[in-house]
């Protein structure tokens, strides 16, 4: 009995370093981003043939941009975007970095993401867009930034079928945002050509 326990312990000690060595490059990269180990991140991204910039965690679907936006790290955000990170990468719930920036109250990140061609109209799985969320949170500054980034106030969510414009109009506490939307013209829908019957 004692001998089996010793053998099992020895095997565990031998396999632990092997398991650590078998971590994927993607896992190591996301861990380095999470721990803000800048030198490690730079070394991994500068490795010839590296394509880990848009890798995502298996459980949450978080990519490097999701991690730094949640942390509120605009310097890291700029660096990763310059290295080719996808500003529209979605996590496991369909959240984009821009939606997470609004969720976390990180208004300074909206122009950074917008300059990197982040789409302000990408909704998560429930149809919530950054503009709908900013409107629901009554964040006038974020609403202005998102409108400047070409967010559509008339795009509806999937939960209630309401748009940011409708949320603002229906909430008496949101009169300032409703005024912003009143000054924002509705986008004309392109007509679809097709057969006439």
Q: Which residues contact 45 (CB under 8 A, 6 or more apart)?
A: 29, 52, 53, 83
pLDDT tens figures, 173-188: 989 999 999 888 887 5
Cβ atoms 109, 74 nearer than 8 A: yes
Can you list the domains of the chain with their CATH numbers?
A: 23-119 (1.25.40.20), 120-184 (1.25.40.20)
Query: Burial of 84 by CB count in 10 Å (0-12 exposed, 13-18 middle, 19+ buried)?
Result: exposed
The residue assigned the tokens 């019957």 is: 197
Read off the pTM. Answer: 0.81
CA distance linking residue 96 with residue 87, whole number of Å = 7
Report helix angle 175-182 to 140-148, nearest 10.
20
pLDDT tens figures, 128-154: 999 999 999 999 999 999 999 999 999
């Amino acid at each position: 009995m004692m001998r089996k326990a010793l053998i099992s312990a020895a095997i565990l000690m031998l396999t632990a370093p092997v398991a650590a060595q078998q971590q994927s490059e993607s896992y190591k990269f996301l861990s380095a981003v999470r721990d803000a180990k800048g030198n490690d991140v730079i070394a991994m991204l500068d490795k010839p043939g590296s394509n880990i910039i848009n890798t995502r965690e298996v459980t949450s679907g978080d990519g490097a941009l999701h991690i730094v936006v949640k942390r509120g790290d605009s310097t890291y955000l700029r660096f990763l975007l310059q290295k080719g990170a996808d500003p529209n990468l979605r996590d496991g719930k369909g959240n984009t970095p821009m939606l997470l920036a609004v969720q976390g109250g990180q208004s300074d990140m909206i122009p950074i993401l917008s300059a990197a061609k982040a789409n302000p109209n990408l909704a998560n799985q429930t149809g919530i867009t950054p503009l709908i969320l900013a409107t629901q949170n009554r964040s006038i500054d974020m609403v202005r930034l998102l409108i400047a980034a070409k967010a559509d106030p008339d795009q509806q969510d999937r939960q209630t079928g309401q748009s940011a414009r409708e949320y603002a109009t229906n909430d008496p506490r949101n009169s300032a945002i409703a005024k912003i939307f009143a000054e924002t013209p509705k986008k004309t829908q392109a007509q679809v050509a097709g057969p006439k019957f």
